């Protein structure tokens, strides 16, 4: 995503905040930008480490990721007891499958049509066999990513 596109997205977020009566503060802009600088899942600590040089308070990060999650700008995923956040615009999928590398700790989104189809069958089986009514699912794979596979 180039600088112009990021600018467009950030402007959109500004509008969304303003529609909710929320202000587009310097700190909120900085937090949201982090998700464009590196398109990955970030937790509060990671965001804070990147922004503390701007004198941002840790409580501000906690407060705002929670707000952004509530108004649907970010989506929270919990992995190993830690909350990570990702841009909601990247998570408009029928379900969420994540992969966490046990070497580099990166969390990767899995987004393959065929895998989603396999999953749908799994879901239907679950409902039929157990009498459940399923609303959401969370699939987490753990292992080595392509990058780390060679040098473990």
Q: Per rule CB under 7 A, is residue 92 in the interface with DNA? A: no
At 29, phi and psi to the nearest 5? -60, -45
Q: Per rule CB under 7 A, is residue 83 in the interface with DNA? A: yes
* Binds its own copies (CB under 8 A): choice among 80, 104, 105, 106: 80
Q: Counting beta carbons within 10 angstroms of the beta carbon of residue 146, is it exposed (0 to 12), middle (13 to 18) or buried (19 or more)?
A: exposed
Q: Which residues contact 140 (CB under 8 A, 6 or more apart)?
A: 79, 97, 98, 99, 100
Q: Counting beta carbons within 10 angstroms of the beta carbon of residue 68, is it exposed (0 to 12), middle (13 to 18) or buried (19 or more)?
A: buried
If binding means CB under 8 A, how many residues of this protein chain bind its own copies? 37
Q: Per rule CB under 8 A, is residue 62 in the interface with its own copies? A: no
DSSP 8-state code for residue 39: -
Residue closer to DNA by CB (options 49, 118) is 49
| Helix axes 44-51 and 26-37, enclosed angle (nearest 10) | 110
Q: Per rule CB under 7 A, is residue 24 in the interface with DNA? A: yes
Tell me the per-residue interface mask from 1 to 20 with DNA, x by CB under 7 A, - otherwise. Answer: -------------x---x--
Q: Per rule CB under 7 A, is residue 23 in the interface with DNA? A: yes
Quick check: 103 and 60 in contact, CB under 8 A? no
* Binds its own copies (CB under 8 A): choice among 19, 81, 92, 94: 81
Summarize the annotated binding site for Fe cation as residue ranges: 118
Q: Which residues contribute to the site for DNA (CB under 7 A)? A: 14, 18, 21-28, 44-45, 55-60, 62-64, 66, 82-83
Q: Which residues contribute to the site for its own copies (CB under 8 A)? A: 78, 80-81, 83, 99, 102, 108, 110, 112, 114-115, 118-119, 121-123, 125-126, 129-146, 149
């Amino acid at each position: 995503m180039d600088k112009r596109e990021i600018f467009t997205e950030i402007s959109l977020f500004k509008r969304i905040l303003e529609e909710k009566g929320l202000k587009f503060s310097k700190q909120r802009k900085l937090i949201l930008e982090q998700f464009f600088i590196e398109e990955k899942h970030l937790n509060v600590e990671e965001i804070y480490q990147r922004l503390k040089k701007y004198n941002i308070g840790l409580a501000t990060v906690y407060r705002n990721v929670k707000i952004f999650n509530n108004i649907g700008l970010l989506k929270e995923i919990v992995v190993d007891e830690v909350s990570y956040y990702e841009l909601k615009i990247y998570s408009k999928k029928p379900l969420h499958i994540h992969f966490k590398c046990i070497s580099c700790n990166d969390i990767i989104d899995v987004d393959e049509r065929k895998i989603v189809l396999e999953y749908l069958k799994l879901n239907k089986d679950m409902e039929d066999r157990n009498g459940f009514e399923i609303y959401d699912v969370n699939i987490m794979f753990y292992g080595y990513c392509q990058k780390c596979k060679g040098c473990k």
